Amino acid sequence: MFDDIRPYYPDEIPAAMQKIADSEIIPSIVNYIMPGTDVELFRDKLRKIKTTEEFQNGIISEIIDIILAKTTTQFKWSGIENISNDKPYIFISNHRDIVLDAMLLQYLFIKEGINTCQITFGSNLMQHPFIVDFGKVNKMFKTERGGNRVEFYNNLTYMSKYIRHVVTENKESVWIAQRNGRTKDGLDVTDPAIIKMFWSSRRDDKILSLTEMNITPVSVSYEWEPCDKLKTLELYHTKINGEYKKAPGEDINSILTGIKQPKGKVNFHICKPLTENDLRKIDSLEGNYFTNIAEQIDEQINSNYAINPNNYIAHDIRSGESIYASHYTDEQKKQFVEYMNWIDEYKDLDTNLLREIFLGIYANCIR
């Protein structure tokens, strides 16, 4: 059942680990993330892994430890008291980095003794055999992207059935982004279609249908936005040309950039799950039910978003005022302004527009 999208079953893990260990990509990954590590010893370590738990608690945790040590100054989380191992959840998160949002959530679950969750992973990323094996060993399941209107609808319905199967029958949690693709403009907004997708696999009672999914918002923030330069350029070309076409390998470049780029302080907050009572109250409001739920999720995510000095600085620079000057130092502002100098390298583009877009990525969360 769901063989075309599901993660690997336990009996499939050992063979997958052998393929991962033998991959020609391993030396590049080791040198990129763990320079100085003996590649063959690392391959042997991978071959000995027999379960997803061994892979996550050993290899993944080790890699995250290295990434955090090299690229962050602080990783904090809160709200763990809002969940337990007694029930599964759908963790619906704002989405700032392609892989780190979900992987860091898994990492904090491991540290807190909470069961890790299955993770949605776009079919556009699951192309290379190594990525497929790595993802499916790490509890990732494929979500189809693109297609015509009918295909898109069928894919959403199929994914809804799979997610409900995972949560209600397998009693496993799921992570999913609040909308298709990352937040690139600094405005975290939940797509009501995601909520409607959850409901579409059980339509007899919309309140009970969503209650049993235990929808739990997660708020993610980075002091230095992952891929901020790449996001700025993508938004710029979209504004100028009306669309943006990704180059081959661009998603992989974004993954590697997000991993390696300095991120400063990183904060996760697990919000309170939406209860049956919450959903009944929302049902009593005017307007579209799914839109109202999405707005409730947005309120939780945005109110628990950790605002950093960079956000206040960007707001004041963009507005030309000093409304939030008490939230940052002159040195912090100087550092941020110097960081923006990368924009001057693009003399053939409208640097004023680039600057406005870049500042928005950091400043819009203040709104």
Half-sphere exposure of 334 toward its Cβ, with a 13 Å CA cutoff? 3
Instruction: Sketch out the chain's domains with CATH numbers.
Output: 10-306 (3.40.1130), 311-366 (no CATH)
| pTM as predicted | 0.95
User: How much is the pLDDT for 123?
Assistant: 84
Determine the longest span between alpha carbons in the chain, in angstroms.
62
**Burial class (CB within 10 angstroms; exposed 0-12, middle 13-18, buried 19+) of 280:** exposed
Tens of pLDDT along the chain (367 residues) come to 899 999 999 999 999 999 999 999 999 889 888 899 999 999 999 999 999 999 999 999 999 999 999 999 999 999 999 999 999 999 999 999 999 999 999 999 999 999 999 999 988 888 788 999 999 999 999 998 777 888 888 888 999 999 999 999 999 999 999 998 899 999 999 999 999 999 999 999 999 999 999 999 999 999 999 999 999 999 999 999 998 888 887 888 898 899 999 999 999 999 999 999 999 999 999 999 999 999 999 999 999 999 999 999 999 999 999 999 999 999 999 999 999 999 999 999 999 999 999 999 999 999 7
CA distances for 119 relative to 129, 260, 295, angstroms: 18, 22, 23
Beta bridge partners of 285: none
User: How much is the pLDDT for 230?
Assistant: 96
List of residues 6+ apart from 57 with CB closer than 8 A: 110
User: How much is the pLDDT for 76?
Assistant: 98
Beta bridge partners of 222: 266
Q: Using DSSP, state whether 44 is helix, strand or coil.
A: helix
**Residue pair 226/262 in contact by the 8 Å Cβ criterion:** no
pLDDT tens sequence across 226-285: 999 999 999 999 999 998 888 887 888 898 899 999 999 999 999 999 999 999 999 999
User: How much is the pLDDT for 78?
Assistant: 98
User: How much is the pLDDT for 309?
Assistant: 98
